[in-house]
Amino acid sequence: MKQNIPAYFLLINTVLLFCLCMEIVKIRWQFSQEYENNAYLRVANNKLTEINFNLKTEYYHLSSPAKVERHAKEILKMVEIAKAINLNYEK
């Protein structure tokens, strides 16, 4: 029995070392996955920022007073009043 104690101790240490190594491999894999996710999120954030800028620019362009006035003149056939006309109704 006393002869097997170092062998058991060596076996327990080997199993413990193997478990620790596997845990280190798992953690390093998780870190690499998180770095990839972070890089993907940065690219997606840059794309969304660019799309947001384009949408804001389009919104300001479409709601500008000159655009609204041109739309009123060309499509709605509205004309600008050049001078005021006074009509006097006689009784």
Is the pTM higher than 0.75?
Answer: no
List, for residues 41-53, the tens digit of each pLDDT value.
Answer: 999 999 999 999 9
Which segments of the chain have a pLDDT < 70?
1-2, 81, 84, 91
Domain boundaries along the sequence of the chain: 5-74
DSSP string, the chain: -TTTHHHHHHHHHHHHHHHHHHHHHHHHHHHHHHHHHHHHHHHHHHHHHHHHHHHHHHHHHHTSHHHHHHHHHHTS------S--------
